[in-house]
Amino acid sequence: MRQVKQKVIKFPLEVIGDLERLVQQGKRSKFVVEATRAKLERVRLGEALAKTAGSLTTEDYPEFATSEDVAKWVRELRARDFSRAREK
């Protein structure tokens, strides 16, 4: 069994109202834990993106110089993968 720790967290009344109205009693803790995990994952991803920002230089990766270049690269990659899938 997983270890758990009870923690007092303050919520705005409208959030509590919505939680009680929309999530079945007995499933609210699981709902809050899952929502917290999802948000924490986004925070971790943001931290990783901030740490690695600028690591792909346009000199080393000219195909990523602009957002249009990236979109073109993605389209070409998808087309190549799609054509391989059709060959099978």
User: What pLDDT, in 10s, does the model give residues 17-43?
Assistant: 999 999 999 999 999 999 999 999 999
How far, in Å, CA of 40 to CA of 80, rounded? 35
Tens digit of each residue's pLDDT (9 = 90 or more) over 44-87 = 999 999 999 888 888 888 888 899 999 999 999 999 877 666 66
Tally of CB atoms within 10 A around 81: 9
Nearest to 43 by CA among 51, 4, 9, 30: 51
Rounded Cα–Cα distance for residues 87 and 70 (Å): 26
Can you give the pTM of this predicted structure? Answer: 0.65
